[in-house]
Structures are given as structure tokens and as C-alpha cells.
Amino acid sequence: MNIPVLRTVGEIRNLVRSWKQDGLRVGLVPTMGYLHQGHLALVQHGLRFCDRIVMSIFVNPTQFGPNEDFDRYPRDEHGDRAKAEEAGVSALFCPYLNEMYPAGAETYVSLDRLPHHLCGPLRPGHFRGVATICTKLFVAVEPDVAVFGEKDYQQAVIIKRLALDLLLPTRIETAPIVRESDGLAMSSRNVYLAPDERRRALCIVQALDQAELSVKRGEYDVRKIRLQIMALLNSANFQVDYVDFVHPDTLENEESIGSPTIVAIAGFIGKTRLIDNRLLIPPNPTDDQKRVW
Ligand code: PAF
């Protein structure tokens, strides 16, 4: 049995409403397709809270900059359908472009502060595109829960904020980063990496491990930890966009690891942009400091 693939807002809304009338809880896993284990883990996470999972697959043009990889972003709807079904997805929502952006569309969702950190300044308009499409998906699908991965940490914080600010009835859940056996964070963009680049990309997780180790050993000075990390990244010829240490909720820069802090890394291996992050927890934090989002 093949799961249904719905293309219009009317179709997905009718299906979800019929499930809800039967008393079922519905989760949404928004994706841009080319599914890997990371996406499938989001489905598993959603199934902890929901009876039915809708997965959306939509390569959203408004979140790509003019020089980014919208055209060459990997696509495989046929393969995705089989993987999604196997993982327990009940329906795919693969909308037509003009369903999500009707002719003449001019309404966008943007946040004031959160997009000014980390990837925001380097990808102007990206988070406006993400916030807009996710809001539209929430309006179209009307899920009880929506699940996002923690690899795109800034995205997850932004979606949580917008759901709160716009009084959306959808609860936002996040699921931990899924890694390849050698530690590389799973990403649809990993397919772009040539074998040598794939090997060099491991410097990112090694840098995160190094940061964690330094904090465990009592080094809280962000400048010193950044220097160690930069040495590692430079030796793998990783072109660093940023190595930032930020507050887990506000994404404001931290100067020392006095409380749980996110270290986030972004940059290029060749032409492929990769991101990753880790929560750093100083030893013996107070109960308040142990709070993680
Ligand atoms: O993380 C992604 O794949 C995309 O940014 C999302 C959330 C599906 C919005 O297009």
C-alpha cells in the first residue's frame, strides 16, 4: 500500500480534519525531501505524541538566496515516498508552488531579533522564507504537533518563537541531531561532498568534541575555546562562516560558558555549506543552569 501524496491545501486539510474527527492526534514533519535517517528520526519522534504523521516535502524557493543551491537541491519524490511510508508516515503533502505562494503573494513572516544571529546575516532573507513557509504549512495542515531537528538549531528556535508569538495551536517539538557512524551530522547536502571533502568535513564534529572536552576540563573562556576550534577547522581547509557561542534561547553571543551555551559552527567544505552545533554544559551547573530548551 502506497501512502497518499496530496498536492493541494484543500486535500490535506480535509484528510487531517477527518482524522481529528476520529479523535486522532496529528503531527507534521516539514522537510525539503531527499530524506535521510535524520528526517526519519523526526517521524519517530512525532509518533511518540501523535497517531498520524503528515510529512511535507517542498523545496521552498523563498529561503534560498540568489547564489544558493535551489536549482540543484537534491530531489527524489519517488524514493522519499517509500522511505516515508516505511518510517510510519501516513500521508505526504507535496504542494504545488502556487498552492503555497498564490499568484501575487506579498505576505511574509519575519522576526525582529533571532534572525540577526548565526546564519542570519550570511543568508539574508533565509529565515523570513523559513518562517513564512512553516507558518503556511501550519495553517494548511493544522497539526497538533510539528517536529524540527536540532541540527538547524536557529531554525528550531525561530519556529518555537513564531508559534508562541502568533498564538498558533501547534506544539513545536525538537529532536536530537542524527549523525553518520563517523559523527558527521546527517544532511541532504552531504551528497554534494566528494570523498576527500567528506573526510575533511569531519573536522566539524571534531571541533565540537574539542569544545565539549575543553569545557569539561574547566575552560570557560570562549575566546580560548574558539582559538582551539579554529586551528582544527583551518587544518582541514574548512572555510569558516562562524564559530559562535550563544545563549540557547536568545542566540545572543556569550563570552564565557557560565551556563548552558550552544556552540554553533557553519562554513564551507568546497562549495558545500555545512552547519552543526552542540550544547555545552559547564560542570556542576545549578538546577536553573541545567534547564535546556
Ligand atoms: O529544515 C528544512 O528542511 C526547511 O528549512 C523546512 C523547515 C522544511 C522549511 O522549508
Give the model confidence (pLDDT) of 256-287 as tens digits: 999 999 999 999 999 999 999 999 999 876 56
Which residues lie below 8 Å from residue 117, measured CB to CB, with a gap of 6+? 154, 244, 246, 251, 252, 253
Q: How many residues does the chain have?
A: 293
Model confidence at 288: pLDDT above 90: no
Please indicate, yes or no, if residue 78 is contained in any of the structural domains.
Answer: yes
Ligand 1: centre distance to CA 156 (Å): 10
Q: Classify residue 55 by burial, with Cβ atoms within 10 Å: 0-12, 13-18, 19+.
A: buried
212 CA from centroid of ligand 1 (Å): 28
**Residue 77 Cα distances to 80, 92, 93, 99, 274, angstroms:** 5, 10, 11, 18, 23
Where residue 289 falls among pLDDT bands split at 50, 70, 90?
Answer: low
| Residue of minimum CA distance from atom 8 in ligand 1 | 31
Active-site residue list = 39
Q: Which of 175, 202, 236 is where one domain is finished? A: 175
Closest C-alpha to ligand 1, atom 6: 31
Give the count of beta carbons closer than 10 Å to the beta carbon of residue 252: 11
What percentage of the chain exceeds 70 in pLDDT? 96
Confidence of residue 293 (pLDDT cuts 50, 70, 90): very low
- pLDDT tens-digit series, residues 173-228: 999 999 999 999 999 999 999 999 999 999 999 999 999 999 999 999 999 999 99
For 50, the 3-state DSSP assignment is coil
Ligand 1, atom 9: closest residue by C-alpha? 130
In this structure, which residue's CA is closest to atom 3 in ligand 1? 31
Task: Write the residue with the smallest CA distance to atom 5 of ligand 1.
Answer: 130
Contact at 8 Å (CB) between 189 and 272?
A: yes
Rounded Cα distance, 135 and 129, in Å: 10
Closest ligand 1 atom, CA of 159?
7
Q: Is the pLDDT of residue 114 over 70?
A: yes
Alpha helices in the chain (DSSP H): 9-21, 37-47, 77-87, 97-100, 126-141, 153-165, 195-200, 202-216, 222-235, 287-290
Same domain, 93 and 156: yes
Ligand 1 centroid vs 288 CA: distance in angstroms? 31
Does any domain span residue 54?
Answer: yes
Structurally, the chain folds into a number of domains equal to 2
pLDDT digits (tens, 9 = 90+) for 142-157: 999 999 999 999 999 9
Query: Of ligand 1's atoms, which has the minimum distance to the CA of residue 56?
Result: 8
Report residues whose beta carbon is within 6 angstroms of any ligand 1 atom: 30-32, 60, 63, 130, 133-134, 152, 155
Residue 292 has pLDDT above 70, yes or no: no
Q: Are 222 and 246 in contact (CB under 8 A)?
A: no
Asked if 164 and 194 sit in the same domain, the reply is no
Are residues 159 and 232 located together in one domain of the fold? no
- Looking at the structure, tell me whether residues 30 and 157 fall in a common domain: yes
19 & 61 share domain: yes
> Do residues 93 and 228 share a domain?
no
> Residues 6 or more apart from 207 whose CB is under 8 A from it?
229, 232, 233, 243, 265
- What pLDDT is stored for residue 283 in this prediction? 87
- Give the separation between CA 249 and CA 95, rounded to whole angstroms: 32
Measured in Å, residue 32 CA sits from the centre of ligand 1 at 6
Please give the biggest Cα pair distance in the chain. 58
CA distance 199 to 193: 9
**Is residue 292 in a domain?**
no
Please check whether residues 160 and 204 belong to one and the same domain.
Answer: no
Residues 98 and 157 in one domain: yes
The domain boundary, picked from 141, 175, 209, lies at 175
Whichever domain contains 261, its CATH number is: 3.30.1300.10
Same domain, residue pair 112 and 156: yes
Of ligand 1's atoms, which has the minimum distance to the CA of residue 58?
10
Q: Say whether both 211 and 167 belong to one domain.
A: no
Nearest one of 174, 167, 124 to 152, comparing CA atoms: 174
Provide the grid cell at 215: 569545557
Host domain of residue 207:
188-280
Closest ligand 1 atom to the C-alpha of 60? Answer: 10
Task: Clarify whether residues 276 and 143 are in a common domain.
Answer: no
Between the CA of 108 and the centroid of ligand 1 the distance, in Å, is: 16
